[in-house]
């Protein structure tokens, strides 16, 4: 039993008020004892000799006078080989192994080792005795799937250390020592394949943080061309239920130009999580031809799990993402959905009786969200290589209201906004990203001048559409009508994309540049028609032909043949050349 004990003096849902005698610290892990169960909790507020703890489990059975053991350690995760392909809960419990032990229903107070202790890894040293190293530098590597997993100097160590001993090449478990270091005080420091790091403290064992400037190609046309995401940048996808947030995230995770994908399902409905767990192992990674799961890690906390664990799942995911960034890898972190994480913050804030902000969310909601997204970014490591964490968070505002606090707080800190529209979703225009409301501060794969002109066309076409609702088609000039048809054509053949088609589901940057250049030239040229019916029939044929073009591999002869057919169609009604 830990020597630092406390006594429960109040229970309110998953909030405990505990009286203690020895020192405790913010974010310290403690265990509340009920019967033979130890329920994991975290210190979230300290007032004199009283501490408020959030419990990550159902608190049924806890009562006044029950003992609480303080561990003296912050809430942390294990970092080492064996993380990839795993499915964890917010506390980094491996869910498949937990299910084997507990059966169909998970039990309280059972915590398993995140990394397998009996698995051996083939360690190859890269450091030699006498080398001087600092936190985050590489001591050796082990193969993990398609990657070389770097075994690094623990991030918690400061100053310059000297390698006294390094293990010979061979097979080791994560708990076996592979190196002995000496710090500046000549104290020995033992290093294993695994290390622990507090989840709420960013990992900063790199040389320099850089400004995101290179586009992250997702192969989703409306994203890469109109509202791009930068490698190491941040973006959000707010939208009402059923608008396609989860599908868009799955497509992005499959085709985005990244090394590792981490999915944090923080409070999603269980049905959506089950779908993700079933589909990811079946999806083929287009980069390797193997299962997508081999470079994926899932943090899963459904809405039926304890509320407090939603917050832990977000921080667990971003800490693991930072860890792989330290290896020079590009990581994509998808948080789905941050609204339910914010709801957990609101519930705890209410139990703490804090002064509420807008819609009863905590007054510090904006700073908490900002601190999370700021942990993304692209960095230069101490060996000169680059690593990045790109964070994409979905938001589920009630009724699709983008003015609510979580969406607005998120928009203030992200670099791109992909707002999903209920209207476009109902019209089956997918991805349902609204081209009139969305924005991005990052460079895309197509020239900014062309994209700007296309956006002007979309807005002009929408203006004509709104006007026609009032005066009717007969009250619209043929020139305005053609502007409307051009904007609808751009929407139908470029902004919309068939996610389930082998070719159209993923459009490379090269293809996007080529196709958009042809479409841009059409948008700029003047088209001549005798009447509106003739214009409508022409655009119907042009739209169908271009959709057929989208479904043909751009290396095939048929791709060139359809392109020539489109140019011939345009030449008949314009000066297109």
* Chain centroid, CA 491 distance in Å: 27
What are the tokens at 302?
Answer: 């459904």
Find out whether 246 is annotated in a ligand binding site. yes
| Residue 468 CB partners (closer than 8 Å, separation 6+) | 475, 476, 484
DSSP tag of 167: P
Find out whether 228 is annotated in a ligand binding site. no
How many Cα atoms within 13 Å fall on the side-chain side of residue 345? 25
Burial 537-556 (b: 16+ CB within 10 A, else e): ebbeebbeebeebbebebee
**Residue 373 and residue 312: Cα distance in Å, rounded?**
15
DSSP run (H or E) holding 103: none
Calculate ∠ Cα 179-181-183, nearest 5°. Answer: 165
User: What is the bridge-based pairing of β-strands 386-395 and 330-335?
Assistant: parallel
Find out whether 65 is annotated in a ligand binding site. no
**Residue 287 and residue 159: Cα distance in Å, rounded?**
39
What are the tokens at 87?
Answer: 């499915």
Find out whether 244 is annotated in a ligand binding site. yes
DSSP run (H or E) holding 117: none
Is 221:435 a contact under the CB 8 Å cutoff?
no
Is 174:158 a contact under the CB 8 Å cutoff?
no
What are the tokens at 446?
Answer: 């197509």
Angstrom distances, CA of residue 232 to CA of 257, 392, 534 = 12, 10, 48
Find out whether 156 is annotated in a ligand binding site. no
H helices within 362-508, ranges in order? Answer: 365-373, 405-411, 422-426, 448-471, 478-490
Find out whether 6 is annotated in a ligand binding site. no
Find out whether 243 is annotated in a ligand binding site. yes
User: What is the bridge-based pairing of β-strands 260-266 and 330-335?
Assistant: parallel
Which of 326, 317, 323 has its CA nearest to residue 79? Answer: 323
Find out whether 245 is annotated in a ligand binding site. yes
Which of 519, 514, 522, 499 has its CA nearest to residue 555? Answer: 514
Annotated binding site: 239-246
Annotated binding site for ATP: 239-246
């Amino acid at each position: 039993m830990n020597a630092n004990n406390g006594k429960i003096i109040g229970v309110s849902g998953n909030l405990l008020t505990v009286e203690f005698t020895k020192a405790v610290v913010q974010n310290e892990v403690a265990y509340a004892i009920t019967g033979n169960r130890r329920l994991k909790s975290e210190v979230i507020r300290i007032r004199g000799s009283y501490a408020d703890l959030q419990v990550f489990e159902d608190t049924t059975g806890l009562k006044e006078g029950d003992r609480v053991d303080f561990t003296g350690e912050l809430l942390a995760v294990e970092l080492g080989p064996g993380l990839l392909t795993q499915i964890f809960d917010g506390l980094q419990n491996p869910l498949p192994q937990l299910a084997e032990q507990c059966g169909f229903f998970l039990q309280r107070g059972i915590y398993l080792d995140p990394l397998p202790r009996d698995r051996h890894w083939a360690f190859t040293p890269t450091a030699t005795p006498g080398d001087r190293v600092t936190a985050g530098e590489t001591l050796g590597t082990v193969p993990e799937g398609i990657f070389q997993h770097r075994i690094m100097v623990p991030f918690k160590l400061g100053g310059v250390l000297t390698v006294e001993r390094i293990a010979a090449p061979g097979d080791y478990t994560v708990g076996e020592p592979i190196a002995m270091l000496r710090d500046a005080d000549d104290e020995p420091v033992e290093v294993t394949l695994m290390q622990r790091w507090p989840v709420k403290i960013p990992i900063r064992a790199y040389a320099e943080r850089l400004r995101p400037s290179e586009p992250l190609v997702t192969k989703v046309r409306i994203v890469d061309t109109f509202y791009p995401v930068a490698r190491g940048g941040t973006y959000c996808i707010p939208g009402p239920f059923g608008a396609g947030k989860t599908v868009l995230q799955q497509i992005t995770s499959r085709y985005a130009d990244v090394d590792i994908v981490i999915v944090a399902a923080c409070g999603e409905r269980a049905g959506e999580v089950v779908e993700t767990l079933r589909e990811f192992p079946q999806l083929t990674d287009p980069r390797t031809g193997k299962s997508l799961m081999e470079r994926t890690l899932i943090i899963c906390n459904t809405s039926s799990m304890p509320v407090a664990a939603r917050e832990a799942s977000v921080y667990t995911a971003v800490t693991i993402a930072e860890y792989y960034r330290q290896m020079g890898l590009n990581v994509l972190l998808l948080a789905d959905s941050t609204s339910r994480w914010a709801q957990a913050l609101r519930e705890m804030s209410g139990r703490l009786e804090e002064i509420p902000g807008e819609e009863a969310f905590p007054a510090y909601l904006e700073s908490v969200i900002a601190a999370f997204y700021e942990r993304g970014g692209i960095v230069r490591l101490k060996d000169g290589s680059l690593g990045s964490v790109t964070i994409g968070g979905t938001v589920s505002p009630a009724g699709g209201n983008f003015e609510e606090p979580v969406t607005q707080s998120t928009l203030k800190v992200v670099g791109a906004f992909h707002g999903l529209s209920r209207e476009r979703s109902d019209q089956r225009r997918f991805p349902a990203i609204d081209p009139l409301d969305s924005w991005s501060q990052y460079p895309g794969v197509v020239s900014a001048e062309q994209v700007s002109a296309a956006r002007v066309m979309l807005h002009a076409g929408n203006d004509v559409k709104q006007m026609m609702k009032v005066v009717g088609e007969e009250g619209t000039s043929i020139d305005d009508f053609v502007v409307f048809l051009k904007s609808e054509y751009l929407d139908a053949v470029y902004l919309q994309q068939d996610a389930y088609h082998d070719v159209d589901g993923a459009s490379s940057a090269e293809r996007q540049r080529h196709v958009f250049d042809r479409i841009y030239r059409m948008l700029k040229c003047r088209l001549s028609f005798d009447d509106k019916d003739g214009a409508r029939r022409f655009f119907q044929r042009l739209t169908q032909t271009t959709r057929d073009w989208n479904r043909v591999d751009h290396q095939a002869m048929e791709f060139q043949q359809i392109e020539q057919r489109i140019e011939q169609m345009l030449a008949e009604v314009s000066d297109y050349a």
